[in-house]
Amino acid sequence: MQKQIRLIFIMLVCSVTYACTLLQTTPDSLNNNITEWLAENEFDKIDHALKKVDKNDTKYTFIINKTNSIIASRNTFIEKTSATAIKYRRKNQWQKALQTYDHALDKIEDEPRLLKEKTALLKERDRQITNLRKDMLMKRADALISYKIIYSKLHKLIPEDYSAQFDINRFDNDRIEVANQLRMCGEQAIKNNNYTLARDCYYLSNELEPSKPKTLWVTKLNKQLKDISNQKRHIKLLSAYQSAYDKHEYDLAKSHLNELLTISPSHSKAKALLASLNKEVQEWVSSKIEVGKERYSKKKINAALEIWRQALRLEPENPELLQLISRAEKISQKIQSLEKTQ
């Protein structure tokens, strides 16, 4: 019995081997298949078939030599797919763009560029859908808020009218539903660090259905947004200060620090920078005063005036500079008058 089973097994193995031999693709049939697959952009089928080819078998050399042209066709197909999908995207035909990628990925499975572009397209579509839903929720909330006073007046006028009460109850149900959706919107926005959206959602929710926790959230988020805005402004002003300082535009650098300290009087870095800058300016002004005096002693009145006026731009209230400039200007005017009379 065992011998019979073994014999049957051997016969089956031989039959399968023989069948596989018969099904083995010849070079000509493979070449024809590749030509058809190229026409249909079936690159996965081509790759699968070429993997089974023995590259050392000279009968397949002419097929192996087609590899570069196949790669070129593949790249052309990818470029065309990408361009077509982008065209649909620009026309806001999102479904057609996605179908373009899906159709191509059926023929080139796991192609990195097409997968990346499709993922980006889906992400952008989902972002726009989310924004539209938020806009609709906000507009719905605004509409309900505008009706609050109307329904309140209606209730006071006809508190026992069935039709009016039916409308009022329906309004209240919508109001509570939207208020809850807005509260959840605020919670999610906080998790996403989108504090502006969180503040707006809590504010509208509180308008529809007031509560102390919502009021506290609105206050807290307003403060947080102000702090974030100030922080961005601080960074911008410090950058502007550094740029002006590097160019030796000390008066402009000082103005940036003063503006920052107006926004945040206790900003320690700005205070330290301003103190250091003032000291540096004082030293610079003092050196300019001495250089001007040296020029003045050599009868170079205009040259002295020029350098003293430069210093005055940084210290417009410097009494010594004001006195020196006043005296030099008088002498300069006298010299000019004498020159005119001669």
* Contacts with 122 (C-beta within 8 Å, 6 or more apart), sequence order: 98
Instruction: Divide the 342 residues of the chain into consecutive groups of 10 and give the mean pLDDT of each group.
Output: 52 44 68 90 91 84 88 94 96 95 93 95 94 93 93 89 90 95 95 94 96 96 94 95 91 92 93 93 89 90 90 86 90 81 68
CA dihedral 62, 66, 67, 71 (to 10 degrees): -170
Instruction: Report whether 301 contacts 328 (CB < 8 A).
Output: yes
Q: How far apart are CA 168 and CA 113, in angstroms?
A: 56
Plot region of 264 (φ>0 → left; ψ -120 to 50 → alpha; else → beta): beta
Q: What is the pLDDT of residue 232?
A: 94
Q: What is the pLDDT of residue 145?
A: 94
* Contacts with 221 (C-beta within 8 Å, 6 or more apart), sequence order: 195, 198, 199, 202
Q: Where exactly are the structural domains of the chain?
A: 163-266, 283-341
Q: Which amino acid is at 132?
A: L
The encoded tokens of residue 74 equal: 């593949």
Q: What is the pLDDT of residue 143?
A: 94
| Dihedral angle sign, alpha carbons of residues 286, 288, 290, 293 | negative
The encoded tokens of residue 103 equal: 């159709």
CA neighbor of 281 nearest in space, from 255, 300, 306: 255
Q: What is the pLDDT of residue 160?
A: 86
Q: What is the pLDDT of residue 317?
A: 86
Q: What is the pLDDT of residue 331?
A: 87
Q: What is the pLDDT of residue 9?
A: 53
- What's CA 334's distance to the chain center, in Å? 65
Q: How far apart are CA 43 and CA 80, in angstroms?
A: 15
Q: What is the pLDDT of residue 176?
A: 95
Q: What is the pTM of this model?
A: 0.61
